[in-house]
A and B are shown apart, each in its own frame.
Chain A
């Protein structure tokens, strides 16, 4: 009898320790919530390698280690994320690693070139260039470290410049390192690694000069969007460093920012800004007008938890569609890193529900708004 009790206790312990599988929520979580037509759905989350590789091991009663395909890989305090093809790259600051995740292949590995000259110390943000190479901003090494498509170390940008690169962007000719210590974007020649110039301090308006900038995105239109924590705004620069404008300010209102973090643009010229203070993501159109926000705290699933990096992609939508509610057609996939909590990567889908006439709904809403406030009629 004591043996049977012990067996049950052991069974309870094993199953209790197993993390829940990659989540497919029973009740779809939409933003905005009903009755407003849904535009964003929380699709699933990634907590550790089990959420990616599958859950064969989780319910094994007798021998967990024997059934697990590989060693369990977990995040300590992730920050940055980027998507390239079917691959996701997630930087983990505390452990000094970069996870390479392929959901389609159910693969979760650490970056291959992260050793020797390619060894990372404190990777913050990362991006991929047009050629598919990976660029990692490492404040521990004080460099941007480049790896090829296979993950092999290629070169480092910025040795000797004593910079604090918190984010990085790359085009076909140059590598842009967001240097928090200089409050500038240092531009390096991609081929020879030489410093070309420093951008971000030339604006006539002092509020549009970089100060405590934390994150940066090189958009498909070739503009640099920088999350400027010092002013609580997003500053837009061209690649020559000319300031093209800014939006947002410090505050907790709509379109304002507390601690702006990750920034990303999508193929439809929408722009996404993560806010670690508001713990949400705000969406803007190409005219910098707020469209909506999502991920606010308080939900059983789908809320963000001290979010940081963000990536938006419209590649591999077919794969992500399986996580969407029936009839909800995805247009973009939004990946947001949580620094703490069960899921370190929240995956959302931007889309539309079949059978809903969104344009008609928006027209009616606008009409209602106009009736409620005739002044709006004059403005719009």
Chain B
């Protein structure tokens, strides 16, 4: 036990002596390296490298000649070359997926001043704006587009990039979407909760549409919004361009975002609201802004007992193509623009894509319509009349009505007049007293003899 006791006591005493002598030796070094005459600038550095502050010059430098200053050449040299010198104290870089080129080359001094900086911490020649430092190597053109990203404009490059190494491409500190939603928390919340996510967001990174530093278009879009969307949705663009009847909404400044959300939505097709609400946001109000105003469809629908099938499901796009079409009123199929248009194969295909395609085909039928007198097809009689075939609008409302089969109560627009139908339904037929002809009845079971 005794020998151990003396050994420990001696060791503690020895350590105390060494520690007690250290300040005196450092001070002695500073006094000797950085005096009023020699290396005086090192005393005035605001943010000094720790060894400099401690006066521990030999942590990095070692004297290689007996005399200092030497008569010729340098009397001191670095104890290690390049990054090896730094790695004596600092953790070593270079193990991650991407390594900043100066780090890989061991050229720490391309960014850092080894003794310290008067501008900011981390031995960098700047307080917070890294623009100048990074632009020494990186092309500054990417920061100079019309719309700048906040961190890039402020020179807060390290907000997104790790300056030494990272496991993401571009030295990004996190995966791209994580990185962006780290600040853009509203997007993060939406992406987490919305049922519909834009494929570009889901399967690509934010940079599929946005420039991260600066961009020529608002919202940091890499191109004008329409061009960005057409990168993937080119078919829609081509169709819209070729369409004979164009949708004005596509040509508003908001372009695609007039109707669609960019990142996520609660509604199909990334619509910003339920489909019908999106449409009625323009087509649901009285329009006094033009000579040929938009029709107020909301007024047409309100309070009506019978809605057209697609509208019952809140769908406008079943009948109208929102990106434009070759058919009147952007309908999804052929339908005559005029009041009179005799039926020929194909010209009423818009209506017949849902309604029986043989509705107007045969003069006699017991199958395709209940609007018949015995077998006489009264739809055929009205529409297929080759001299004066009436289009569907002569009797039916397109959106809503208070009568079954969307029979028009008020009547169709006919110049200055609205032609009423005065349709009355019976169990086996009905009657009309329209503005077009005298009262006529029809009966499927016991046909009316019109010759009498």
Contact = CB atoms under 8 A, between A and B. Distances in A.
B366 A242 contact: no
Interface in B272-319: none
B446 to A, nearest CB: 15
B447 to A, nearest CB: 14
Interface residues of B, number: 9
Interface stretch (B68-76, B162-170, B356-364): B356-364
Interface string B349-369: 000000000100110111110
Nearest to A241: B364
Contacts of B362: 238, 240, 242
Contacts of B375: 240
A301 B368 CA distance: 46
Nearest to B366: A240
A239 B358 contact: no
Contacts of A222: 367
Interface string A227-256: 000000000001110101000000000000
Contacts of B368: 238
Nearest to A238: B367
Contacts, number: 20
B366 A239 contact: yes
Contacts of A240: 362, 364-367, 375
Contacts of B358: 238, 242, 244
Q: Which of A222, A238, A244 has the most CB of B within 10 A?
A: A238
Nearest to B362: A242
Contacts of B367: 222, 238-240
Interface string A206-244: 000000000000000010000000000000001110101
A58 to B, nearest CB: 52
A366 B361 CA distance: 36
A360 to B, nearest CB: 23
A73 B117 CA distance: 111
A244 B368 CA distance: 13
Contacts of A244: 358
Interface in A25-84: none
A242 B368 CA distance: 11
Nearest to A197: B375
Contacts of B366: 239-240
A239 B375 CA distance: 12
Interface in A186-203: none
Nearest to A173: B366
A238 B361 CA distance: 12
Interface in A234-285: 238-240, 242, 244
Contacts of B361: 242
B365 to A, nearest CB: 5
A222 B365 CA distance: 13
Q: Which of A239, A240, A244 has the most CB of B within 10 A?
A: A240
Contacts of A239: 366-367
B444 to A, nearest CB: 13
Contacts of A242: 358, 361-362, 364-365
A238 B375 CA distance: 13
A373 B398 CA distance: 46
B443 to A, nearest CB: 17
Nearest to B377: A240
A240 B358 CA distance: 12
Interface in B332-374: 358, 361-362, 364-368
B119 to A, nearest CB: 64
Interface in B366-404: 366-368, 375
Nearest to B365: A240
A238 B363 CA distance: 13
A242 B361 CA distance: 9
Nearest to A222: B367
B331 to A, nearest CB: 24
A240 B444 CA distance: 14
B345 to A, nearest CB: 12
A240 B377 CA distance: 12
Nearest to B363: A242
Nearest to A244: B358
A345 B358 CA distance: 38
Nearest to A239: B367
A131 to B, nearest CB: 20
Nearest to A174: B366
B259 to A, nearest CB: 34
Nearest to B357: A244
Contacts of B364: 240, 242
A222 B367 CA distance: 9
A244 B356 CA distance: 13
A238 B369 CA distance: 13
B384 to A, nearest CB: 13
A335 to B, nearest CB: 29
B355 to A, nearest CB: 16
B445 to A, nearest CB: 12
B149 to A, nearest CB: 44
B135 to A, nearest CB: 52
Interface of A: 222, 238-240, 242, 244
15 contacts: A222-B367, A238-B358, A238-B365, A238-B367, A238-B368, A239-B367, A240-B362, A240-B365, A240-B367, A242-B358, A242-B361, A242-B362, A242-B364, A242-B365, A244-B358
Given A239-B366, A240-B362, A242-B362, 15 more contacts: A222-B367, A238-B358, A238-B362, A238-B365, A238-B367, A238-B368, A239-B367, A240-B366, A240-B367, A240-B375, A242-B358, A242-B361, A242-B364, A242-B365, A244-B358
Q: Which 5 A-B pairs have the closest CB atoms?
A: A242-B362, A240-B365, A240-B366, A238-B367, A240-B367
Interface of B: 358, 361-362, 364-368, 375
